[in-house]
Amino acid sequence: MSSAEPDRVVPSPLLGGIYRARRPSGPVVGVVVVVVCLLVGQTAAALVLFPLLGASAAAAVGGTMTLVDQLAMLLSFLGVVGMLALWVRLKERRPFGSVGFFPASRVGVHLGIGAAIAVVLLGLPVGVNLLSGQFDVGAVHVAQIGGAFVALVGFAVQASTEEIITRGYLMQVTYRKWGLTAAVGLQAVVFSLLHGANPNVTVVALVNILLIALLLAFWALAEGGLWGVCAFHAVWNWCQGNVYGIEVSGMDISTTMLTTAGTPGSAPLLTGGAFGVEGSLLTTAVLAIGTALAYLAHRRARSAAR
């Protein structure tokens, strides 16, 4: 198909970006592109960043990460988005912004809403665990506040890259050939599989990762772009790791504002155990409600566009 407009009503401006491509990719090729960009792009960037910053590769694959280790690992996602940008521009022949950043309207509002919702949704399971005695704040690290804010830059890169390749690129190329249901479903499966190899993953954690993928997909469709979900994802991860001091999908971070951990005898099904609060049933409940609301927002936006 050429860059001409499709002969059907596109349910969201987010999905319309694929029709700007002169040589669009299909879903199968899209999955291959995503995997290759992740494996090759991140590895190539890591080979430069880790020695350049003096970071420990061993810490990044299972140990406790210092701020330098964390930044090297998170910034290595620049290699992923860089490779995808080349593919989109040189092979598909469309602007990179078409993966989910056009039109760029009310950007600040979308970023602010995304960040605020992340703080609220994450604060609910953390707050319940604190109030019920499942979590305890062992220390407050005033001297690490500055470093924690620096780490937000790294999470912005990592989280935005994951949104671009899944809720943006992969959902677009799948929708063009297989329709909306397949587009939402495939990106959710790929996103879940990419996180399935994380340390200390559990069945509850995988369910929650799937719910996050669905929540953010419907949110991006309702918004018509990726600005809000990029902000949500970055702040969600950052608050877990660098604010609360909780493991982020099994990743242990040392530069934190607080040290929050399960109390003796606490229930892993509530705290999330070694995977972090993303492995908690409380988070499951919050994400299920959030997904339902995002789906309703998508349906409203789709109806209004008709």
Mean pLDDT value across residues 279-300: 98
For residue 91, the model assigns a pLDDT of 98
Evaluate if residue 5 carries a pLDDT over 60. no
Please report, rounded to a whole number, the percentage of residues in the chain having pLDDT higher than 90.
89
Cis peptide before 268 (omega within 30 of 0): no
Whether residue 47 has pLDDT greater than 90:
yes
Residue 4 has pLDDT above 60, yes or no: no
Cβ atoms of residues 65 and 73 within 8 Å: yes
pLDDT score at 3: 46
Residues 6+ apart with CB under 8 A from 93: 21, 22, 23
Over residues 217-233, the mean pLDDT reads: 98
**Is 2 a residue whose pLDDT tops 80?**
no
Q: With 70 as the cut, is the pLDDT of residue 1 above it?
A: no
User: In the predicted model, what is the mean pLDDT of the chain?
Assistant: 95
119-174 pLDDT tens trace:
999 999 999 999 999 999 999 999 999 999 999 999 999 999 999 999 999 999 99
236-245 pLDDT, tens digit each = 999 999 999 9
Mean pLDDT of all residues in 194-206: 91
Q: How is the chain split into domains, by residue range? A: 15-305
CA distance to 88, 230, 250, per residue, from 198 (Å): 28, 21, 6
pLDDT at 96 over 70: yes
pLDDT of residue 8: 65
Which pLDDT belongs to residue 305? 75
> What is the model's pLDDT at position 57?
84
pTM of the predicted model, to two decimals? 0.95
Q: What is the pLDDT of residues 56-89, one digit of tens each?
A: 988 777 789 999 999 999 999 999 999 999 999 9
Lowest-confidence range among 2-16, 56-70, 279-293? Answer: 2-16
